[in-house]
Structure 1
């Protein structure tokens, strides 16, 4: 058989954990924390080929029926991904509330086609929080611009580095930000927070607050898959994300 699905590593609550999957793939069989490369699970949600028969021309509802029959009672490293019939918006909201990465939907009447065809959709859970802009990495491709912004959040009374963001900027916004940074140059020798990175950074006064969308936190408390959404009006520092986890 040929299956279509996704490899995952589950956390203690039975949720897929992308960070744990990355760790396990890098482990190559050796232990990494309490995860190893051998405990990944393949969740199948489609069946393309079975016992010499190409099933791609069948509607998904038929392929799914054959998949259910083929994997019924099987509880090994390959498992079947359950179907849930519900309002997509309500289902996505519930998935995000449970701390899942999102949901995937397939058109029951569709034949199997490779590539981005619109026959299936992936809806991801996205978090959005405000963070301080504390510096930027100068752009090598566009002198006078920046490649990414460095972000910080409060942990107690101290600012802590939480990662960088390099996407989501419109050209006009990027130019305006770069002009503002020149007026907010950090003049002290020590940066505004502890930073052990090796990138060339131009530090700025931590007064600008950016709204950032991101998927989740990495184990070392950095933002994963972040995107810049815009600047927020100056507010009390209490409105900026505080690292309580």
Structure 2
């Protein structure tokens, strides 16, 4: 994997002189002199979302990181009190005890960290299925002690809202708070100094999901405005489960029948027959058995043996592309998406395929 070289020219904020700055004896503040104002700590911040692109950008204006495959979270620290908030605004502090414990010992009074909760495999890669299983499935209530938090932005720090600072300045402050060698419940998402195509090639070679590119000089903006760009090695999106064909696979599931959205309606996009483990199939079958119905929510052709479901379950599916008749190629099941956190369904365009 491409590793970030040690910095030679980049320096943390407020350290632009060669002689180290030293503090002097603190004097009593003149009451006539105004105090530095503090920003109120936001209760919640809508996350900045990465815009999907087919190829990475290049040039000095961009910095690159690995794309982590987990649950987007913000960690709020307020003088020893920790709140872990999901992308959908839910308080999941109790579900991530390892992250909570690590946040309590950070050397800062108040902070809001933006990042991703992940479970790592033996190679150090984030494993979405393992995270979901640790949490007990799509609507499970289990605590995931093995989940760690990979921090990639700092939005609030010691009483100051940092969102109007440029990306590079926020990054310097984040690196001062979480060192690159940190290996506990909160870790730093490494910045990679290289050209975009080379970073993507290395990520794909190591079996990672993809990369994120961020503009150095941009502030933090909620929503999907293009300040952050994601490029995937393997395509992965959310699709509605229309039903399944019984078979000899785990959970008695032979093939899942999937649908995307097109012009406001569900459209069948083919079947998924790989990716299920005994554990994930058991979780999925439990959810599917609750929503069996008599008719498919979209036309799928003649499938007499299929078991039809109400169109409420959104599955994360990896795939290699599309056929000419708008069907998924080499699709593999990854897990169920939480409808409150990342329940978006893939939108088919008219020219897809």
TM-score by length of 2: 0.41
Does 1:103 find its partner at 2:211?
yes
Q: CA deviation at 1:114?
A: 1.4
Task: Say if 1:117 and 1:185 are closer, same or farther in 2 by CA, change over 3 A.
Answer: closer
Does 1:64 find its partner at 2:168?
no
Separation of aligned partners in 2, 1:151 and 1:63: 50
Does 1:167 find its partner at 2:274?
no
Please name the residue that 2:124 is paired with.
14
Q: Which has the higher contact order (CA 8 A, sep 6+)?
A: 2
Separation of aligned partners in 1, 2:300 and 2:170: 56
- RMSD, matched Cα: 4.3
Separation of aligned partners in 1, 2:221 and 2:132: 28
Deviations 1:118-148 (A, max 9, x none): 11122233359xxxxxxxx9xxxxxxxxx84
Divergent runs of 4+, >3 A: 147-153, 168-171, 177-181, 197-200, 213-219, 225-229
Please name the residue that 1:124 is paired with.
232
Q: CA deviation at 1:97?
A: 3.3
Does 1:23 find its partner at 2:133?
yes
Consecutive unaligned residues in structure 2, runs of 5 or more? 1-110, 271-297, 311-324, 336-343, 349-353
Q: CA deviation at 1:85?
A: 2.5
Task: Say if 1:79 and 1:46 are closer, same or farther in 2 by CA, change over 3 A.
Answer: same
For the Cα contact (< 8 Å) 2:120–2:127, is it kept in 1?
yes
Task: Say if 1:59 and 1:180 are closer, same or farther in 2 by CA, change over 3 A.
Answer: closer
Q: CA deviation at 1:86?
A: 2.9
Secondary structure at the counterpart of residue 145 of structure 2: helix
Secondary structure at the counterpart of residue 21 of structure 1: helix
Q: CA deviation at 1:104?
A: 1.4
Please name the residue that 1:217 is paired with.
333
Looking at secondary structure, tell me which structure has more helix per residue.
1
Which residue among 87, 96, 113 is the counterpart of 2:195?
Answer: 87
TM-score by length of 1: 0.57
Task: Say if 1:17 and 1:180 are closer, same or farther in 2 by CA, change over 3 A.
Answer: closer
Task: Say if 1:110 and 1:87 are closer, same or farther in 2 by CA, change over 3 A.
Answer: same
For the Cα contact (< 8 Å) 1:8–1:17, is it kept in 2?
yes
